[in-house]
Structure formats: structure tokens, C-alpha cells
Amino acid sequence: MSSAYVFSILATAAIFTLLALSLNIITGYAGQAMMGIAAFFGTGAYTAAIITTHGGNFFLALLAGMVVSGIFGAVLGVISLRLQADFLAITTIGINFVMAALFNSLKITGGTLGLTTSKPVVFGIRMTNMHFFIFTTILIVIVCLLITKMRHSWFGMALASIENDPGAARSFGINVSKYQILAFTIGTALAGLTGGLYAHRMGFISASDFAFVVSIQIVSMCVIGGLGTLRGPIFGAVLLSALPEVLRFADNYRELVYAVLLVIMVRFMPGGLLGDDSPVWKFLVKIWRKFVPRKKTRADLIAEQAIAEGGQA
């Protein structure tokens, strides 16, 4: 295997990891059924591509893709307030179809011909797959750090409450719709940023890159890895990006294998391979604990003290 080939796979895996993380914010943390993430991925991709093909700066284009997609997401968030979970799932599917149709027919997006982008030149170097991989990985690390910080903040607590029980969340003073819109905006903005990266790494984009199937792929990544965890979507994205390469010999059966895997997963392990309740994950944690004992939390201490004092059983 040539290193160019390896880096092309790695760059793809990294980009889809970032995209899976964006969906995870909306569906995993905030519990909103988003089935059309590719629409926002595409919005970011086309926005960035249009800017650079008109001579704009690459990083500026990425930022613009993020902002436009985020605004679009915020608008959808406002609409989604009125809808129940199932309506929202269908509406997002619908938005995906409508957007893909628009990408395919509007003049500014190149219609059926799509858009061709040139590899950006940064500090005098033309970016290759390796550069895209490194740049995207840095972004993944930053996003992971930001998400970890969120999980320890009141913002994270609000999302966790909403995901578990919106009614209870309201009774804690949480403005459920406001937080849902925020989660939508952040998630779709990140998807837009990822789209900009994708457009320039691929060198060419067309409507089929942002079809509903792509949304399903991203959902599958999160579900197979474990929605609502940080490790899950990353693992799922890397796994599903590598799978086509591994299954290359059986190209004709690829989709089928995908589909069967997906059905088996949700049937027997809906929390994902690395979800909190997964036997695989529990086993890994058990081994890890042999080397690094668990730090006791405040809750553990309270419970232990109470049991030691012989509290009411």
C-alpha cells in the first residue's frame, strides 16, 4: 500500500469522524432525531466551494460554510420546536431531499455537473491528503476538548436533562427549546465546517455526495459506535470508513453487509458497540481498571458512608 493511498483513506475517515461528532451533538447529547445531517454537510461544502472558486481564501471559506450552515440549522431548530420527535425525523429527511434536489438543479451549485475545487495552497504548500488528515485530526482533537468541557458544564447538564426527560428539564428551569436550538446550531455549524473540508479534499462535489444515504451512513456510524458518547461516533466513523476498503474484494455485497450489520447492531446492541451498556465496552473498562483503579466520585463516597452507617436498606 502506498502512503498516498493510506492518507486518502485516513483523510476520509477523519472528515467523517468530524461529521459524526457533529451529529452526535444534536442526536446523542440533545436527543433530537436528526436524519438529514448531509443537507448541512452539503450546505457548508457548496458555500466554501463557491467562495474559493471565486478566489476567496480557504480558511475564510471554511468559516463561511460553518456560519451559513449554522444559520440554516438555527432556522430549522426554531421550526423543530413545534414538532414532536417523529415529525422532526421526517422533516429532516425531507430537508435532505429538498436540499439535494436544489444542489442538483441550481445554477450556483453547478447543477448536475457539480463544482470543481482546487487544492488550497497554505503557506506556499499545496494541501495533499496528508495535510487534510493532519488538519482534520487537529480539528477533531479541539472539538473533543470542547465537548468534554461542555459535558462538565451546566450547558452539558442541561442537554443531558433534556435528552433524558424534557418535562423534568423544564422543572429545573431549563429553557428546553432554547437549548435545543443551540445544540442544532452548533451541530449543523460543525457539519458545515466539515463540508468545506470535504469539498476541498475531494476536489469535486456533486449533489449525490450529500444525498439521504450519506445521512444514514453518518447515523449508522454514531449508532454502531454508541450515540451520546465521545468514543462511539469516532470509533463508528473509523470502522465504517475502513470497512469499504476491507470489503473491496466483495464489492458487490458491500451494501448488503452494511445493512445486515446495521440491523444486527440495533437489534441486539442498540446502545452501540462502545456504548455505556455494551458488554464490549464493559469488558474493556474492566481490563483498564486492573491497571488504573477508578477514582471514587462524590456520589460513591456518599453511598459508601451511608451503607457503612447502616442506612435504611
Q: How far is the CB of 291 from another protein (least distance, A)?
A: 22
Considering the rule CB under 8 A, would residue 103 count as an interface residue with another protein?
A: no
- Establish if 216 lies at the interface with another protein (CB under 8 A): yes
Nearer residue to another protein within complex by CB, 57 or 105: 105
Quote the CA–CA distance of 275 and 302 in Å, as a whole number: 26
Residue-level length of the chain? 313
What residues numbered 144-183 form the site for another protein, per CB under 8 A?
149-150, 152-158, 160-161, 163-165, 167-176, 178-179, 182
Dihedral sign, Cα of residue 196, residue 198, residue 200, residue 206: negative
Q: Does the protein bind another protein through residue 138 (CB under 8 A)?
A: no
Strand partners, 121: 126
**Residues 35 and 87 sit within 8 Å (Cβ to Cβ):** no
Q: How far is the CB of 237 from another protein (least distance, A)?
A: 16
Q: Is 218 in the site for another protein (CB under 8 A)?
A: no
**Closer CB to another protein, residue 131 or residue 170?**
170
Alpha-carbon separation of residue 206 from 116, 260, 285 (angstroms): 9, 28, 43
Minimum CB distance to another protein smaller for 126 or for 149: 149
Q: Which residues contact 206 (CB under 8 A, 6 or more apart)?
A: 103, 104, 110, 112, 113, 114, 115
Closer residue to another protein, CB minimum distance, 47 or 217: 217
Q: Does 108 bind another protein (CB under 8 A)?
A: no
Report, in Å, the least distance between residue 114 CB and another protein.
16
Candidate ranges 121-129, 130-138, 248-256, 280-288; the one touching another protein (CB under 8 A): 248-256
Contacts of 110 (CB under 8 A, 6+ apart): 206
Task: Please check whether residue 20 is in contact with residue 218, taking contact to mean a CB–CB distance below 8 angstroms.
Answer: yes
Contact between 298 and another protein per CB under 8 A: yes
Member of 5, 59, 204, 253 binding another protein (CB under 8 A): 253
Name residues contacting another protein, limited to 4-33 (CB under 8 A).
27, 31, 33
258 vs 256: CA distance, rounded Å: 5
Phi-psi region of 120 (alpha: psi -120 to 50; beta: other; left: phi over 0): beta
94 binds another protein (CB under 8 A): yes
